[in-house]
Amino acid sequence: MYADNYVSKELSDQNCTTGPLKVANDVFDTAQQYWCKNIDLQGQTVGCPCNIQNKSQWSPADQEILSTYNGISSTGTNSVDDCVIFQQELNGNSDEVQFLKLIEETFECTGICKGDIIYYFSDINRGPTDTTQGCYIQIRDFIFHWLGLCHIYSIIAFSIELASTIFTFINFWIDKRNKQKYNNAQRIHNKEIE
């Protein structure tokens, strides 16, 4: 019960302005600035060219969006994690990168509170993402699913422990009663012998 309330409170911000997912979302925002883009920065072109090998995996509408990405190149990388400028911008947030990669591989989406049609932290050539809305709902639903399983396990474990305690008490009570019967029978027998 407490865990549900805590998780509901912590995962109440679908815009990622606060809470535990904000830092990971900020890393995604940084990746979005550079991935599959070439940016003119003070007269120098910087960015993270990406290598999309088969654009036909995307719908015609998504292919239109891909045509706006000016950093698609056969010499690009398959993941923003392999991009030098992105690594420089990370500021020690490599745990978040691993988290975002795991999310992409698990939920077939990218980002937390906003997404895209391409993968950033896993292989871009996996094809289009399932949603462009980010992975927030999938993460929240996954956590609540496991919390539900933990509740069920806790109820089962409590029930078994309670049954065991009751069985032990009954067994102790029966044993005590049998000893009393035996002692009474022994006293009666001793009186008959006298």
pLDDT at position 57 is: 95
What is the domain extent for residue 101? Answer: 13-135
Q: What residues contact residue 80 under an 8 Å CB cut-off, 6+ apart?
A: 31, 34, 35, 48, 50, 86, 120, 121
Flag whether 189 is in a domain.
Answer: no
Question: 47 by DSSP, 3-state: which?
Answer: strand
Flag whether 140 is in a domain.
Answer: no
Flag whether 150 is in a domain.
Answer: no
Q: pLDDT by residue (tens digit) across 1-60? A: 555 565 556 666 667 887 778 888 999 999 999 999 988 778 777 889 999 999 999 999
User: Which residues are bridge partners to 39 per DSSP?
Assistant: 46
Domain count across the chain: 1
Flag whether 174 is in a domain.
Answer: no
Flag whether 152 is in a domain.
Answer: no
